[in-house]
Amino acid sequence: MAWDTSTRRDELPGDWNARRLAVLGRDMHQCRWRTPEGVCGLAATEVDHIRPGGDHSYSNLRALCSWHHRRKSSSEGGRAAALNRPPRRRAPERHPGDL
């Protein structure tokens, strides 16, 4: 699988399992994804970093259902891939008469 070679887990603090359980308990094991109607509220099994960048503080963590966590992670991965993608068009060349 794609995550077999990932080093992402190495970036987590040593007490990650305790933090994860604390966040799930704090959020009552309910998904905290915001929708126009309010909050998702489905059973949460995953803990998400609200703001990326390595901040593992409790205020930057929330419980999410697996569907919303996959959706958010996919979106973030797509944006990161777009930044590494070569441009669709070449830069315009100067006209030889303008040299």
CB 40, CB 65: distance < 8 Å: yes
CB 41, CB 30: distance < 8 Å: yes
The percent of the chain in helix, strand and coil, each rounded to the nearest 5, is 45, 15, 40
Tokens, residue 88 = 């669709």
pLDDT at 1: 52
| Helical ranges in the chain per DSSP H | 16-26, 66-84
CA dihedral (9, 14, 15, 17) positive or negative: positive
Confidence tier at 6 by pLDDT (50, 70, 90) = low
Average pLDDT over the chain reads 88
Q: Which of 3-7, 13-17, 93-97 has the highest mean pLDDT?
A: 13-17
pLDDT at 25: 98
Note if the pTM is more than 0.75. no
Query: Is the pLDDT confidence value at 3 over 60?
Result: no
